[in-house]
Each structure stands twice: as structure tokens, then as C-alpha cells.
Amino acid sequence: MISRFQMMLTLVTVVVLATILRGASAAQCACATGNVHVRSGVGTSHAILGTLNTGSCVTYKGDETSGWVHVDFNGQSGWIAGNYVNIQTCSGGSVTSGGGSLDCSGGHRYSARGTAYYPANNALEGGFVDMRGARLRTLQQYLAGSASYVSVAMDNHAGIAYGTAICIPEMNHRYNKHIVFKVVDTGSAFSGKGHGRIDICVSSQANSYDSTINGHLTLVFP
């Protein structure tokens, strides 16, 4: 026979569990409306912890200061410019990875030979803008937090849409952060190469000698 004490204990347990479950389902997330850097403090002068990709969500910590939102970014305290995120209830309390895996996740993987180019006004490098006239974004600018992606060139007859974002695990591991590369450029050297050749934009000739870039790279497409 169940005692009154046991019945009360059971009731308390049920109430506590229900409260915990309600709290989990009502967790608040900050979800990116565009690729945006997560910084270690309020303002662009603080170090970049990583990049929150479009549609990715991280846990919202409930604080907002001077237009910046406080979040939990892969276990670190981070801040994101508020105009790049929407605060919403996470479904079931789930949170997607903010910076993405360094090993990359995606539906299609290709092995490619990598090379580098840099903005310069000569026939070999091709100038300062991409195939649609947008300013080239270099790897160094991205690492410094002044660009939201890195421009890359590939075969424009390979069916890759302009602006397609790709992930390169070798580059992520080289710099220990998730780097966003976008296919926005091309050239005659890529004709017929398909997904087997990629040119990564860097800031200078010296940077173009990077051994990781000039090696075999894995290109991960969505």
C-alpha cells in the first residue's frame, strides 16, 4: 500500500520534471539571418570566436548591450551584432552548431587541386573584382573579421551557382576555425576542370605560397 508520503514525493517529482521539460522546450535561440562573426565582447574591436552561418542558431543568454546579443557559442561566451540575428524559441531546445564542424558537413564532396590568387591589376591575377564586379574578399580579410566570406574561383561551366558557399576541412584545420568560401569568380584556366580545381583569393603574392592552399583540398558543398 502506497503511503501518503510516497504519493507526495511522486507528485513533487512529476512537477519538477514537467518544469524542467517546459524550460528546455522554451529555450531561446539566436538564429543568423546572414553569415556573421561571433566576437568575444561587445563591439568589432573584440576577437572573433568564429562565424555563425546563415540559418544556424546558438543559445541566447538573455542579455543585449548596445545592439549586441549575448550567446553561448560552442561553449564560449560570445556576442553578435543584433541586426544579424533573430531571437526565437528553439524547437525542443535544440541548437545547431554555430561555427560548423571543422571537418565540414555537406551532401557532396570533391577532391580538388588548390591554388591561390590575389587582387592585382595584371593579366595573370585578373584585377580587383569577381566575375560580377563585386570586390574580391581575401582569406586574410576574413581571418581579420573584415570580410564575411573568402572569394574563390572555379569552372563556371560546372553548374555551380554564383555565390555558392563551400567548406574546406583542410583550411579549417589549418586556421582552427570554420571558414566560409564562396564561388564568385572564374577564369580560362578553370575551363573543363569541373569540381577538380579551385583558386582561393589571398591578400598578396607572399600569401599565395601557402602550402595548404597549394595542395589537395576537399570541397564540401551543401
Mean pLDDT along residues 207-215: 95
Question: What are the tens digits of pLDDT across the range 60-114?
Answer: 887 777 889 998 877 788 899 988 888 877 654 444 444 456 778 767 899 999 9
Domains delineated in the chain: 8-18+22-93 (2.30.30.40), 108-221 (2.40.40)
Query: d(Cα 213, Cα 199) in Å, to the nearest integer?
Result: 8
Question: What are the tens digits of pLDDT across the range 132-179?
Answer: 999 999 999 999 888 989 999 999 999 999 999 999 999 988 888 889
Binned at pLDDT 50, 70 and 90, residue 4 comes out as: low
For the chain, the distance separating the N- and C-terminal CA atoms, rounded to the nearest angstrom, is 60
CB within 8 A of 103, min separation 6: which ones? 169, 172
Q: Are 190 and 155 in contact (CB under 8 A)?
A: yes
At 22 the pLDDT is 44
For the chain, helix, strand, coil in percent to 5 are 20, 35, 45
CB within 8 A of 137, min separation 6: which ones? 147, 148, 149, 150, 151, 182, 201
Q: Pick the closest to residue 124 from 182, 195, 184, 205 (CA basis).
A: 205
Helix (H) or strand (E) holding 57: strand 57-65
Question: Which residues, listed in sequence order, are joined to residue 116 by a DSSP beta bridge?
Answer: 200
